[in-house]
A and B are shown apart, each in its own frame.
Chain A
Amino acid sequence: QSALTQPASVSGSPGQSITISCTGTSSDVGGYNYVSWYQQHPGKAPKLMIYEVSNRPSGVSNRFSGSKSGNTASLTISGLQAEDEADYYCNSYTSSSPLYVFGTGTKVTVL
Chain B
Amino acid sequence: QVQLQESGPGLVKPSQTLSLTCTVSGDSVSSGSYYWSWIRQPAGKGLEWIGRIYTSGSTNYNPSLKSRVTISVDTSKNQFSLKLSSVTAADTAVYYCARGAAWLQSGPFDYWGQGTLVTVSS
Contacts and interface: CB of A to CB of B under 8 A. Distances in A.
Contacts, number: 67
B49 A99 contact: yes
Given A93-B105, A104-B46, A99 B110 contact: no
Interface residues on A, range: 20 to 34
Contacts of A47: 112
The B interface, classified by DSSP as helix, strand, loop or mixed, is loop
Contact of B47 (A35, A48, A89): A89
A1 to B, nearest CB: 9
Contact of A48 (B60, B96, B109, B115): B109
Given A52-B104, A98-B62, A38 B46 contact: no
A45 B110 CA distance: 11
Contacts of B31: none
Contact of B112 (A45, A52, A105): A45
A104 B105 CA distance: 23
B108 interface: yes
Contact of B108 (A45, A48, A89, A97): A48
A96 to B, nearest CB: 10
B27 interface: no
B46 A36 contact: no
A102 B46 contact: yes
A98 B63 contact: yes
Contacts of A97: 60, 62-63
Contacts of A99: 49, 52, 60, 107
A32 B106 contact: yes
Given A45-B113, A98-B64, A3 B106 contact: no
Interface of B: 37, 46-49, 52, 60-64, 96, 101, 104-110, 112-115
